[in-house]
Structure 1
Amino acid sequence: MSELTTKTLTELRDMLASGSISATEATQACLDRIAATEDRVGAFTSVQAEAALDYAKALDAEGPQTDKPLWGVPVSVKDILATKDAPTTCASKILENFTPFYDATAVARLRDAGAVIIGKTNMDEFAMGSSTENSAFGVTRNPWDTTRIPGGSSGGSAASVAAGQCFGSLGTDTGGSIRQPASFCGCVGLKPTYGRVSRYGCVAYASSLDQIGPLTRSVPDAALLLSAIAGYDERDSTSVDCPVPDYVAAANERQDLTGVRLGMPKEYWANGLAPEVEKGCRAAIKRAEELGAELVPVDLPHTKYGIASYYIIAMAEASSNLARFDGVRYGKRAQGAHDLIDMYTASRSEGFGDEVKRRIMLGTYVLSAGYYDAYYRKAAQVRRLVRQDYLDAFEKCDIICGPASPVTAWGLEEKTDDPLQMYLMDVYTISLNLAGLPGISLPVGLGEDTGMPVGLQLLGPAFAEDRLLAASGALMRGLDPLPAPKGLE
């Protein structure tokens, strides 16, 4: 890895602003890194090398602009966000050749901030998965160990950052799909409050759960990317019109954690947590205490119902959202069908992968007339109880902390034949999406058994991203940084 591609986004931004490096040089360094590693990582569904270089050269012709905080910084974007100059496939055959005519709001705001978008990252098809193995474009591998998964569904985004192929990336988080791959790949991954970042142009999986957020190498980097994409958007009916704090200042304001009450829910430290993950997370929490934090016991009693409620709600919404991909309005159209029903059936059968079909069928089932009250309505009621648990806990503490995942990254194909086991890997992340609250995953060490990154998760009240970034910044400055990934040497 070249010295330049090991820099943080913030470090690169300062170099670009000072003129010590050009946007073209930064972009070319990332493209060279992609060329050297992509055959082993598989982080991208497409790379827009020519367009990225052309844009970088245009930026250089204008010179650094102080009103563009991401001027010249190469970033990647999950292939679920609409991009007008590149395919948006959701890693699915059904959208294999689809190029939108517009940018998602988050993408447009990146461009407005001066970022250079170098490519679209691989993902589990339609964001349905926890390993980035459910992609029509092949699997993505973890840069720390290419025999292991990078997490999902934003695995390509996390891997592209960890591998030095870009300086930051946008992913989406429906049930942990930013935080879990960030944990597995040794990155910082931030899931904002529902409504903080516009979902306009994000292909919907579960509309009441999806949220766009950054994956980066440091907390200040995450703050910088979030600052660029956050804010009200009238084109998104779920976007919340409230002021956006100075996240960059927040990420750098604290030198310690004096006065911060860290909530410790016993439900996050129960059976099923790998010893190496528990040890790594508890060591980080001990360091937080040394920095002045106060540990406060809290209860989240409905956590055990979170997985069941989440998958009922998510699959029901997926069944509804994916109905539009029928070979007529969007997507691949099968050839040789004899009538309309045959064409619908063949197009969706050929276009969707197994996991997407499984979730559509389950979602359709729980929404059906005879089962709606027994499943979907009950899940919606439990969702309210889960949210209330968090509200009650935040009356006693400022931030809740716990593992981002019960395990470190597992081996390729290790869990592909057991979907239920795969679903259980999201046990610590999905409740936050049900509640619509913000969370961040921080790389706090390496597992002593596997040598793979361990992630600690900090959770906050609604629209308290600045609080999370302040605490996260202080904690990460108090911890030893992770070494560079060894899997690509």
Structure 2
Amino acid sequence: MTAADLPALAAAVTSGSLTSRRLVDSCLEAADALDLLLGTYLVRFDDDARGAADAVDSAAARGDTLGPLAGVPLGVKDFIATREAVATGQSAVHDPDWRRGRDAEVIARLRHAGAVIIGKTTMVEHAAGRPDPALQFPIPRNPWDLGRWTGGSSTGTANGIAAGLFPAGLGTDTSGSVRIPAAMCGITGLKPTRGLVPMDGCLPASDSLDVIGPMAHSARDCAVLLDVMTGTPPREPSDDLAGRRIGVPWTLLSDPSRDIDAACLAAFRRAMAEMEDAGAHIVDFDLSEIDAMIAATMTIMIREMYVVHRDDLTSRWNDYGRSLRRIAAAGAIVTDDGYLSARAYARSIAATMRERMAGLDAVATPTWPTGAPPYQSNGGMPQEQLNLTAAWNATGFPALAVPMGFDDEHMPVSLQLIGPPMTDARLLGIGHAYQCRTDWHTRRPSPDPAATPTPVPDLDDGMDAGETAVIERMGRTLIQAASLFTNHPNTDTTMKGDRS
């Protein structure tokens, strides 16, 4: 039922050839079969979704004018406020009254366009780190291989779309949290230009970096969602690649020390050849600053994340998961000078990249250097891999992840398209044109509902109890020291209030 694209589903509901109630029920039936296995939902809105679907069907029967998402079910990351349930950031540490009964602005716009919000999807705690089996939350699993990581932090939206639990949804992206799970689950996801999509009603991870982004099977569907989210009149993305100029950092991607998987790089070369055959011009692009770009994003992110959680970390350390509190502890030791230097570098490199991209329609890289890794003692996310997504968050540039094939272990690999600010529609057009010529985005996994996947290893597997205790003690001491001895005047913003 969810194989059709969003415009086709909405058109069918509007014409009466398909009811929204039938579409919602089919999604809920899929969730009944697969959710316990995949860890997609944090909370389902079955009754509310059916009621909303019935209202759409009644409007269609009356001949009312319906919106571009008429009756289409969407999954929403539990970082974004919906009236049905308070956003928790999938954490025991949250404000139970934050925006209670109120939608985020993007959710209100999606509902006005006819969308049905079917439930809140899983994520990693407050959009940081890795799944922790010690926490009482669902563990997300990749529908292509249940023993592998989905990518994060928009885990449930990605694996739910891939497995057919709903046709599209929303994630958030701070250093790759839309694009990485989109890549690893074989779907499409956009990190919009910073500031393009309203953030009202989204919990903060890192206030300078966070964006809400659409996730779906195709770039065309992401374009439909983005138009609604931004209040833009609907536009059909271009399917023409002729004359497009695509910059590729071949020196970076061909460097053996960067450990880009051979199958991933081969898929990327094929994608570039496909674009070239369609009339695009592939030119070399200098991305020699990528390490500094990644460092700027990560410095800003961990410092701002620490500021968001500083008071609660001091008083409720043990209520947080280990992954988040260790990241926050690292943020506690970022100095004001270090933070401000990272912000200044981000502005400078953004200007440099805008100038360097002049005359180009996009820059292309793999989204991630490999397919999804197996869950293992390092938490299922090898930390030494080249973070090709985080490089672009500090700049505020838009970036699109689209499927481009599979690796040697039959896991999806992904193409990332990046452009200067406010070129989101252009990137979606290039992605759509590529998808008109390939079928990677139409491939679907077939997870076995009766499967019994192996347990996910504990975060601290491979460390003895003494090592774990030292890490925890040092982290807590850093948080306490930072709270006692510094006021952090340059980052002590009212981030929680900014999005209330």
TM-score greater than 0.5 by the shorter chain: yes
Quickly say closer, same or farther: Cα 1:226–1:443, change in 2 above 3 A: same
Q: Deviation at 1:461? A: 1.4
- For the Cα contact (< 8 Å) 2:132–2:321, is it kept in 1? no
Q: Deviation at 1:97? A: 5.3
For residues 163-312 of structure 1, the aligned pairs below 5 Å read: 163-231=163-231, 244=232, 246=233, 248-249=235-236, 251=237, 253-254=238-239, 256-265=240-249, 266-270=251-255, 271-312=258-299
Measure the CA separation in 2 of the matches of 1:168 and 1:99.
25
Structure 2 counterpart of 1:332: none
Structure 1 counterpart of 2:394: 434
1:14 aligns with 2:11: yes
| Aligned with 1:361 (options 319, 329, 340) | 329
Measure the CA separation in 1 of the matches of 2:357 and 2:132.
33
Measure the CA separation in 2 of the matches of 1:17 and 1:133.
44
TM-score of the two chains, using structure 1 as the length reference: 0.86
Q: Which deviations, in whole Å up to 9, do the C-alpha atoms of 1:35-69 show, x marking residues without a partner?
A: 01111101111101111111111222222644411
Structure 2 letter corresponding to 1:56: A
Quickly say closer, same or farther: Cα 1:135–1:403, change in 2 above 3 A: farther
1:476 aligns with 2:431: no
Measure the CA separation in 2 of the matches of 1:324 and 1:487.
42
Measure the CA separation in 2 of the matches of 1:316 and 1:13.
43
Q: What root-mean-square deviation, in Å, do the aligned CA atoms of Structure 1 and Structure 2 show?
A: 2.1
Q: Deviation at 1:466? A: 1.2
Q: Which deviations, in whole Å up to 9, do the C-alpha atoms of 1:237-282 show, x marking residues without a partner?
A: xxxxxxx4x5631x2x32x311100001233443210111101111
For residues 50-69 of structure 1, the aligned pairs below 5 Å read: 50-63=47-60, 65-69=64-68
Measure the CA separation in 1 of the matches of 2:132 and 2:123.
5
5+ long unaligned stretches in structure 2: 450-500
Measure the CA separation in 2 of the matches of 1:212 and 1:384.
21
- For the Cα contact (< 8 Å) 1:300–1:386, is it kept in 2? no
1:460 aligns with 2:419: yes
For residues 16-31 of structure 1, the aligned pairs below 5 Å read: 16-31=13-28
- For the Cα contact (< 8 Å) 2:192–2:399, is it kept in 1? yes
Structure 1 counterpart of 2:472: none
Three-state SS of the structure 2 residue aligned to 1:366 is coil
Percent of residue pairs identical: 33
Measure the CA separation in 2 of the matches of 1:226 and 1:12.
17
Structure 2 counterpart of 1:33: 30
Quickly say closer, same or farther: Cα 1:414–1:14, change in 2 above 3 A: farther
Structure 2 counterpart of 1:405: 368
Structure 1 counterpart of 2:477: none
1:390 aligns with 2:358: no
- For the Cα contact (< 8 Å) 1:132–1:155, is it kept in 2? no
Quickly say closer, same or farther: Cα 1:67–1:486, change in 2 above 3 A: closer
Q: Which moved more, 1:29-38 or 1:309-318?
A: 309-318
Q: Which deviations, in whole Å up to 9, do the C-alpha atoms of 1:277-311 show, x marking residues without a partner?
A: 10111111110000000011111221112232222
- For the Cα contact (< 8 Å) 1:85–1:99, is it kept in 2? no
TM-score of the two chains, using structure 2 as the length reference: 0.84
Measure the CA separation in 1 of the matches of 2:429 and 2:353.
20
- For the Cα contact (< 8 Å) 2:219–2:432, is it kept in 1? yes
Structure 1 counterpart of 2:487: none
5+ long unaligned stretches in structure 1: 232-243, 327-343
Measure the CA separation in 2 of the matches of 1:17 and 1:59.
9
Structure 2 letter corresponding to 1:353: G
Q: Deviation at 1:388? A: 2.9
Q: Which moved more, 1:290-299 or 1:263-272?
A: 263-272
Three-state SS of the structure 1 residue aligned to 2:2 is helix
Q: Deviation at 1:322? A: 2.1
Measure the CA separation in 1 of the matches of 2:333 and 2:281.
46
Q: Deviation at 1:222? A: 0.6
